[in-house]
A and B are shown apart, each in its own frame.
Chain A
């Protein structure tokens, strides 16, 4: 049975649902939420305890020790302060008071937020129900990735080409203020992803706020199946460098990458580029298969859990590209399984990392269903690179920093890829981007 790897990120969720399929099993993900295709992936949300993917559930749960009686009741407070506050609201608040259940949902969220871990989340029952019930919808969505900003807003991280989000004009950086009329204030990425996803052919309305527009505006998108190729490959650098891009670490990732890489290796490239940019992660098993392709035998990843246990996973020394010079492209959207692979390749000096600092999602969440139907996703495990560097929270810094600006994207340019090719063919490292300075006055 597939072992869940990393669930998702609080921060960025992938909205892309479409992918789910792939993920099934999985869980590594990342980013906050994926919505989009929405959805789910990353967060792993999908994969929660009572979810359709029950097969994974048990494994996970066993892992977490969940499902067992909760142990000693040490969590009791006398709630003097909160009782006082609720009493004041009942007599003084100007508006309609929410129900006790809603207040309780808010209180649980607030307690969980006090942990300061964006990946430990509480999903209200109404959203947990969607996640648990809606199997078909989880394969379909709008093709975008979400994250939560530091001020709590829900923001689009990226949209994928050819998806409803991209075709509908949704842009990276847009803040999602409402979904089908439901305000996203106070919701986390998992919950917003649940609102966005749904069966193909149905409409979803997003109220978006964009930096350069005065007022929020609404877009209506038709949900669709998100078909983004898992692996793409080509030759670059005048045909001498092989390039392989991996969309995520879903079920077929290792197999498809091996197939396409075999074709590339048959062309005798001088060097390879593995593109993990905006790859939100997926299954740990797939990460390991891909690590096997490039690494000789050795530690691949270290996991530590809440009980203090440490588990070391090794690579298998059976890969088809263990010696060829190599660059891994990474950026702030490279998360979870991507960071495990990139971190291991960097630790062994097997590849140079080119691009921008990675996301910093190296943890596993255990989804637990509460008696009210809400879902608590608790971070139970963290990952470390072979040299025992923490991935969680810090991310992995590239060896060669190259930033792709929005202007580059608009102009169809990719300075990160160009720098990788240049480095592989000539050994040259691009000069750092000059910082504009004011000339000293004579």
Chain B
């Protein structure tokens, strides 16, 4: 991401349920840095004088080590946010924020290596096929020793290894140990994509002994790439003669709001997907993107949900339910009905702020309530999947031929 975007606002988010899952994004709003600095109201009334005085007392009397100004200011932000009593409005330190940004983008600048820590505490690399590291000659089993000349501390947290990541187009030099040899590789970072969707065909036998083919699409998270990934999955499954679609949103804690709208648009013909209710502004209605070439919109659909299905996932599931496009199968969903915006701050940290509630197309509010499945299937994940397949099979059999 470009540096100029940092510090500006990023995304609207639908939160995630406490799982580190994701959020939703409605788009980007650019707020100029100048505007940022005009908000000085808070400083009036001696608020800062009190903060200074309190800290002064601490610095003069505390027996322990007094932390840096950065730690102090981050603490103050956390404390101020806690007065809102909203679990979804929170502060994120720079490093987790960077990881979250990568996660939401569904890609990052990297060299394409997976790594694990072995029993000896070493970081062992496995290059991804055809990735930049593999092309440069990194081999599976190489032990990572240094990044850009700086040795990894023993027992370095895996987070440290994320220093390999950086802006696309910039080089990183890694030093690895292979056998007794130490080897340096300088590799230019490229875009490494992380898929959020898995798709496959499931064949099932109907009650009339006919075979039916179901397109199964599992969505793990709603990232910037998810809409496109789902579209490609649908095209591919359609070309393989899928007669119905099963969308698996179990354990999907959400993500970007825009991705939820994109995914819903693959299965709904038209209409409202979700309504954003702000405090002092008119509602914002987000509608189905009516592209041509959407082969799934006429086919039977079912959605698998469970208690960890939250946020953006619930937007998709709720729209399918409101339009009676197909049954929700599984367990009651989480019930996360608010939208957060993430604001990146100057030093790379960020605050996530609840800016809206969202309503289903029928104006149902789900916060703290969740979605009730049309077909209940508790417990075992496999049994839930089989129940969903059976339900879809019945829908296929009932279709006019």
Contact = CB atoms under 8 A, between A and B. Distances in A.
Interface of A: 64-66, 70-71, 73-77, 79-95, 97-98, 100-117, 120, 122, 183, 185-186, 304-306, 363, 366, 368, 370-372, 374, 376, 378-382
B151 interface: no
A103 B80 contact: yes
Interface of B: 36-45, 47-64, 66-67, 69, 71-86, 89, 91, 278-279, 338, 341, 343, 345-347, 349, 351, 353-357
A103 B41 CA distance: 12
Given A89-B353, A100-B42, A101-B45, 4 more contacts: A75-B54, A84-B346, A101-B47, A381-B63
Given A84-B36, A115-B64, A378-B62, A122 B81 contact: no
A70 B54 CA distance: 10
A98 B44 CA distance: 15
Contacts of A372: 50
Contacts of B44: 100
Contact of B353 (A81, A83, A88): A88
B58 A86 contact: no
Contact of A112 (B47, B50, B58, B345): B58
B51 A79 contact: yes
A186 B54 contact: no
Nearest to B69: A77
A371 B48 CA distance: 12
A382 B63 CA distance: 8
A91 B9 CA distance: 13
A416 to B, nearest CB: 33
Contacts of A104: 47, 50-51, 80
A76 B123 CA distance: 42
Contacts of A82: 42, 73, 76-77, 80
Given A85-B77, A100-B45, A106-B83, A115 B67 contact: yes
Contact of B39 (A71, A84, A112, A366): A84
A105 B356 CA distance: 26
Nearest to B42: A86
Contact of A306 (B49, B53, B63): B63
A154 B67 CA distance: 26
Contacts of B338: 94
A122 B44 CA distance: 22
A117 B64 contact: yes
Given A84-B346, A94-B338, A122 B83 contact: no
Nearest to B354: A94
A110 B82 contact: yes
B42 A87 contact: yes
Nearest to B277: A94
B47 A114 contact: no
A115 B54 CA distance: 13
Nearest to A105: B83
Nearest to B68: A114
Given A73-B52, A81-B77, A371-B53, A111 B72 contact: yes
Given A88-B351, A370-B54, A109 B47 contact: no
A86 B80 contact: yes
Contacts of B89: 93
13 contacts: A65-B61, A74-B56, A82-B73, A83-B43, A84-B36, A92-B353, A93-B354, A97-B84, A110-B80, A111-B72, A111-B79, A378-B62, A380-B63
